[in-house]
Structures are given as structure tokens and as C-alpha cells.
């Protein structure tokens, strides 16, 4: 991130400089979770497994795919997600432009009342924090190992299996970690 204009905070500074995120849902029952594929290579393999894991847990999902990870989502897609879903999982960012654009998408959907979380690789933890600060939005993120582009499909699926409970907990306060062997 290239530093730009510097502003002085006009508030009493009693709160965080970040706008609080939309509160997580109290239950996933009856809700539809948008699975937004940011359009980066290999992300679909991770999301395929995420979709299966949601289905196993009885969580209704709806797939979306951005035309490119290098721009924010088309307005029509944002409007469709906001109209059809109550929460959103955005995956999988493993580069600077993905991180920046997906955080803006998350902010956009958060302002429309969707509980959301972004999934990124560990390497972009700092970039995500910087983008949060620049937008002024206390966004939620779950991290998976970096790099991911050189992984096998099975390894990407394992990332999804390892992170699914944390991802769902980020969008639903009542989401209990469910051991895989008990889910079906």
C-alpha cells in the first residue's frame, strides 16, 4: 500500500478508528451464505471443498465468481448477493490486488448488512490490516497457509477442512465447531 493523504481524526477518539463490522448472525438456520470466489487461480478448488463442508453442516450456500480478482466486484453481483444472502465468505486472496479488492467488496457487503469474512493466505495478513485501516473498517479475516498456488487439490481441500469452523464462527456467533466425522 502506498501511503497517501494524511488526515486528522475529528472525533473524540474514544472509539477505534475502525468502523465496527456487522455483527455475526445468531444462527445459520434459514440463512444463505454467499461463497464469493474472487476469481484468482486455484481459489475455486478451495471453495469447492468449502461448499461441500457447508452442505454437510446444513448451511445453505450460493456461489458467485468475480470476473477478475484485480477489480472490485461488479455492482450487479454485489446487489444480487445483498438481496439473496445474509452472510458472505470471500476467498481466496493470495496477492496484493486480491487482498485490496476483496476487502473493499467485504466492506461494501458489510454496509449492506451482511456478516462477512475474508479468507487470505498468511502472507497477506499485514496487507489486509493496512487495507482495513485505510478503509476504516474492522473487517474479519481467516488465514490459511501461504503459498497456495503450488499445492495439490487435496492440500487445498485440507486447508478448507482445517479452516471451515473458524470461517463459520466468523459469520455466525452460534456456530459450534463440528468435528468432520460427526458431520453428514
Site residues (vs other proteins, CB under 8 A): 1-14, 17, 19, 100, 107, 130-131, 133-137
Smaller CB distance to other proteins: residue 3 or 177? 3
Residue pair 115/174 in contact (Cβ under 8 Å)? The answer is no
Smaller CB distance to other proteins: residue 111 or 146? 111
Smaller CB distance to other proteins: residue 109 or 164? 109
Cα dihedral value 140, 144, 147, 153, nearest 10: -130
Smaller CB distance to other proteins: residue 7 or 154? 7
Smallest CA-to-CA distance from 122 within 157, 158, 148 is with 148
Q: How far is the CB of 106 from other proteins (least distance, A)?
A: 13
Residue 18 backbone phi and psi in degrees, to 5: -100, 140
List the Cα angle 55/58/60 in 5-degree steps. Answer: 70
Amino acid at each position: 500500500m502506498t501511503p497517501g493523504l494524511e488526515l486528522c481524526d475529528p472525533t473524540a477518539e474514544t472509539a477505534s478508528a475502525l468502523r465496527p463490522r456487522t455483527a455475526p448472525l445468531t444462527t445459520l438456520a434459514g440463512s444463505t451464505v454467499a461463497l464469493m470466489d474472487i476469481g484468482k487461480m486455484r481459489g475455486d478448488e478451495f471453495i469447492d471443498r468449502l461448499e461441500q463442508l457447508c452442505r454437510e453442516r446444513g448451511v445453505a450456500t450460493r456461489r458467485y465468481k468475480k470476473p477478475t480478482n484485480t477489480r472490485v466486484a461488479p455492482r450487479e453481483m454485489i446487489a444480487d448477493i445483498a438481496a439473496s444472502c445474509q452472510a458472505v465468505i470471500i476467498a481466496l486472496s493470495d496477492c496484493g490486488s486480491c487482498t485490496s479488492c476483496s476487502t473493499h467488496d467485504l466492506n461494501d457487503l458489510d454496509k449492506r448488512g451482511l456478516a462477512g469474512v475474508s479468507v487470505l493466505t498468511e502472507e497477506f495478513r499485514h496487507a489486509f490490516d493496512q487495507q482495513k485501516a485505510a478503509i476504516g473498517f474492522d473487517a474479519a479475516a481467516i488465514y490459511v497457509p501461504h503459498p497456495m498456488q503450488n499445492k495439490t487439490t487435496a492440500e487445498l481441500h485440507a486447508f478448507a477442512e482445517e479452516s471451515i469452523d473458524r470461517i463459520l464462527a466468523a459469520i455466525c456467533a452460534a456456530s459450534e465447531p463440528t468435528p468432520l466425522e460427526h458431520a453428514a
